[in-house]
Amino acid sequence: DAKTTQPNSMESNEEEPVHLPCNHSTISGTDYIHWYRQLPSQGPEYVIHGLTSNVNNRMASLAIAEDRKSSTLILHRATLRDAAVYYCLVGETSGSRLTFGEGTQLTVNP
Amino acid sequence: DTGVSQNPRHKITKRGQNVTFRCDPISEHNRLYWYRQTLGQGPEFLTYFQNEAQLEKSRLLSDRFSAERPKGSFSTLEIQRTEQGDSAMYLCASSQRHGSATNEKLFFGSGTQLSVL
């Protein structure tokens, strides 16, 4: 499965947009890009996924580079409840094939 | 939708004892996964079931670990002769997978935190 690279940590202010980057230069043509997040003392939570086109849902937007070697998770207005570890994963999306790295710890300042 | 339920939330045991965890997936989901997570790391895949069949096991799953999913509903993960290195959060996830679909979503429980003394 393709590896991903994410910053260890990022900070944001409440009610401001947050752009969380992810590099996945070895992604293959059929690999989906997934984002999960993990709040303290909870299991990971699905955020969004996409293949080639940008995707929007009620939680976030996913912007995928044209060459698919990178993507950005966009939280349009960060809230304190968005403070979590955000994981970017690529690959065949059977759970046995998803490799969670260390993710990005997002801190949201009031 | 009651979500994925895991019990117990916390388990403290002495080295050498056996422990068993339970996972109740979302009722209509046909896949069930077990992961292990240690502090500061992302979850690591252990094993998964499609209905009652255990289809894959990670090399992380030693002989002391066994998982079952009778009748394709709830699942149990048993660790025999626990070691201090088994201390971790054990996470269960479920999903609904149709055929060769490659974009299934995983729904995780809150995990069972195991501490081996």
Question: What's the pLDDT tens digit per position in B51-104?
Answer: 999 998 998 888 999 999 998 899 999 999 999 999 999 999 999 877 666 667
Q: What is the mean pLDDT of chain A?
A: 92
Three-state secondary structure of chain B: CCCCEEECCEEEECCCCCEEEEEECCCCCCEEEEEEECCCCCCEEEEEEECCEEEEECCCCCCCEEEECHHHCCEEEEECCCCHHHCEEEEEEEECCCCCCCCCCCEECCCEEEEEC
Asked if A43 and B108 come within 8 Å (Cβ–Cβ), the reply is yes
User: pLDDT band at A28, cuts 50/70/90?
Assistant: confident
Q: What is the pLDDT of residue A30?
A: 83
A24-52 b/e (C-beta count within 10 Å ≥ 16 → b)? beebeeebbbbbbbbeeeebbebbbbbee
Q: Return the residue of A nearest to B104 by Cα.
A: A93
- Whether residue A65 has pLDDT greater than 70: yes
Largest CA distance in chain A: 40
Cβ separation of A44 and B95 shorter than 8 Å? no
Q: How far apart are CA B22 and CA B61, in angstroms?
A: 17
Q: Does A93 reach chain B within 8 Å, measured CB to CB?
A: yes
B51: its two tokens: 């209905």
For the cut 60, the answer to whether the pLDDT of residue B1 exceeds it is no
Q: Distance (Å, rounded) from C-alpha A26 to C-alpha A69?
A: 7
- A81 pLDDT band, cuts 50/70/90, is very high
pLDDT at A40 > cutoff 70: yes
Pairwise CB contact (< 8 Å): A87 & B42: yes
Q: What percent of chain A has pLDDT over 70?
A: 93
Residue A64: the pLDDT is 96
Nearest CB neighbour to A43, from listed B41, B105, B111 = B111
Measured at the CA of B109, the angle between CA B105 and CA B110, to 5 degrees, comes to: 135
User: Is the Cβ pair B109, A92 closer than 8 Å?
Assistant: no
Residue B71: per-residue pLDDT: 86
Asked whether the predicted pLDDT for residue A3 surpasses 60, the reply is yes
